[in-house]
């Protein structure tokens, strides 16, 4: 046997082998990373973007909901004014309360009502009563001329002047007084009818606007206006 050479075998002086740190990788290997890798920063940015998108969508929905609420409130707002209790000329009694209700014009209009004794004229006017006649604007106006109250007045000649001076398309109407004609000025124009019965001449005008939910108000149809004035005229004739 060969004698043991000092330093060739056995533990080094001190009785222990040198310890390497646990985290230190052996030579030739990359250093170990403590724990798990951190999530990339981009994911946090995506989360912030998602939250911002949700908030923006909520704001858009909230704004749209608010717009619809305002539109509905405007659409459902009752038309007209509180009851005026304005006094009407005697000739206005020729229109029944039932007809005024049907046409949504139960409220006397002071700005229309008037009398002119020198011309034998009485003017009647009605509009909607707030909370009673719906949310669409309607106006009924009736002019009654009694030529028996005017010296030298001749209803037949005066009615001929009405016909000559009326603008728009004229249509003769049978069965309303001694003579009558409708005036048409195109779609959406007010209904207008003029008739003569003896020495009295009557003009009936019905006009209005329809409120729309998501748009501006539009004029009522000319067909509605014509139907209204025909019905009112026939009712007035029966009472003259």
Span of 65-69, 181-185, 233-237 with lowest mean pLDDT: 65-69
3-state per-residue secondary structure call for the chain: CCCCCCCCCCCCCCCCCCCCCCCCCCCCCCCCCCCCCCCCHHHHHHHHHHHHHHHHHHHHHHHHHHHHHHHHHHHHCCCCECCCCCCCCHHHHHCCHHHHHHCCCCEECCCCCEEEHHHCEEEEEEECECCCCCCCEEEEEEEEEEHHHCCCCCHHHHHHHHHHHCCCEEEECCCCCCEEEEEECCCCCCEEEEEEECCEEEEEEEEEEECCCCCCCEECCHHHHHHHHHHHHHHHHHHC
State yes or no: pLDDT of 2 exceeds 60: no
Cβ atoms of 218 and 210 closer than 8 Å: yes
Residues 11-58: pLDDT tens digits? 455 555 445 444 444 455 455 555 555 555 555 666 666 676 677 676
Higher-confidence position of 170 and 64 = 170
Residues 202-227: pLDDT tens digits? 999 999 999 876 667 889 999 999 99
Per-residue pLDDT band for 79 (boundaries 50, 70, 90) equals confident
Which pLDDT does position 9 carry in this prediction? 45
| For residues 130-148, average pLDDT | 95
Inter-residue long-range contacts of 33-41, CB under 8 Å, 24+ positions, other chains counted: none
Q: For residues 25 and 23, give the distance between their C-alpha atoms in angstroms, rounded to a whole number.
A: 6
Give Cβ neighbours of residue 40 (< 8 Å, ≥ 6 apart): none
Which pLDDT does position 48 carry in this prediction? 67
Residues 83-108: pLDDT tens digits? 999 999 988 999 999 999 999 999 99
Calculate what percentage of the chain has a pLDDT beyond 90: 56
Higher-confidence position of 38 and 162 = 162
Per-residue pLDDT band for 128 (boundaries 50, 70, 90) equals very high
Per-residue pLDDT band for 60 (boundaries 50, 70, 90) equals confident
Which pLDDT does position 23 carry in this prediction? 45
């Amino acid at each position: 046997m060969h004698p043991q050479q000092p330093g060739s075998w056995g533990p080094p002086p001190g009785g222990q082998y040198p310890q390497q740190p646990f985290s230190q990788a052996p030579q030739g290997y990359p250093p170990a990373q403590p724990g798990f890798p951190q999530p990339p920063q981009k994911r946090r940015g995506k989360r912030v973007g998602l939250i911002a998108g949700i908030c923006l969508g909520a704001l858009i929905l909230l704004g749209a909901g608010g717009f619809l609420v305002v539109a509905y409130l405007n659409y459902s707002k009752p038309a007209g004014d509180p009851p005026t209790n304005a006094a009407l000329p005697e000739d206005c009694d020729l229109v029944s309360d039932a007809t005024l209700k049907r046409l949504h014009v139960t409220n006397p209009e002071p700005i229309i009502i008037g009398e002119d004794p020198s011309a034998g004229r009485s003017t009647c006017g009605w509009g909607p009563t707030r909370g009673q006649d719906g949310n669409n604007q309607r106006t009924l106006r009736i002019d009654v001329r009694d030529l028996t109250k005017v010296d030298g007045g001749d209803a037949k000649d005066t009615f001929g002047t009405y016909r000559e001076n009326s603008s728009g398309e004229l249509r003769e109407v049978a069965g309303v007084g001694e003579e009558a004609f409708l005036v048409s000025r195109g779609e959406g124009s007010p209904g207008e009818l003029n008739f003569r019965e003896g020495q009295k001449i009557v003009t009936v005008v019905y006009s209005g606007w329809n409120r729309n939910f998501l748009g501006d108000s539009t004029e009522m149809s000319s067909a509605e206006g014509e139907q209204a004035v025909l019905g009112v005229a026939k009712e007035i004739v029966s009472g003259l």
